[in-house]
A and B are shown apart, each in its own frame.
Chain A
Amino acid sequence: DQQVKQNSPSLSVQEGRISILNCDYTNSMFDYFLWYKKYPAEGPTFLISISSIKDKNEDGRFTVFLNKSAKHLSLHIVPSQPGDSAVYFCAASTGANSKLTFGKGITLSVRP
């Protein structure tokens, strides 16, 4: 039973354009959401997070949007760069426990 779902396994975008990575969750107890980026042969690297009391958090080229009623969040990368090519994981946790529940990940390819 996947509580965090990333339904698209891959995404390809042109350099300079916007990348939109989507994530859905089923557990209404989740109140903190994170995005991690992973390059081959490396561990996941924290990218950006958002608390359930917010609907948007921005950090440079990266913005995460949260729609609690739809149990949906998205990561926007603009402008996309070739160095952004990696696997992106959506993760969630509850206030009671910081263990993370991850989605399956989405492979982003940014074409030069």
Chain B
Amino acid sequence: GAGVSQTPSNKVTEKGKYVELRCDPISGHTALYWYRQSLGQGPEFLIYFQGTGAADDSGLPNDRFFAVRPEGSVSTLKIQRTERGDSAMYLCASSLNPAGPGETQYFGPGTRLLVL
């Protein structure tokens, strides 16, 4: 079946602009996660959705970052007033069941964001 998909694959924007990154999870997966990976680092957790609600948004770096999942499937990560430091690979993952150890997270290919 289809895996996690993310669009766009690459996004170049100017400092101060607004961007939206989209994630389509695996069909039927209730949990959805956003991570950010900077160069030379491992992925860092941003936010986790269970259904439509954000169950844990402790990883969002500041209030310029916001994510939604209005129908419990597709999610959009929104970044306002982008800064050069926001440049990174943004990864989305989904898992079948609610949070808990043993639930494998399946990752999409990521969106590479470059803020000039």
Contact = CB atoms under 8 A, between A and B. Distances in A.
Interface of A: 4, 6, 31-32, 34, 36, 41-46, 49, 51, 89, 91, 93-95, 97-105
Majority secondary structure, B binding face: loop
Contacts of A44: 43, 91, 107
Nearest to A34: B104
Contacts of A101: 45
Nearest to A44: B107
- How big is the B interface, by class? 20 to 34
A64 to B, nearest CB: 14
Interface of B: 4, 31, 33, 35, 40-45, 48, 56, 59, 91, 93, 95, 99-110
Which of B40, B42, B59 is the most central at the interface, judged by chain A CB atoms within 10 Å of its CB? B42
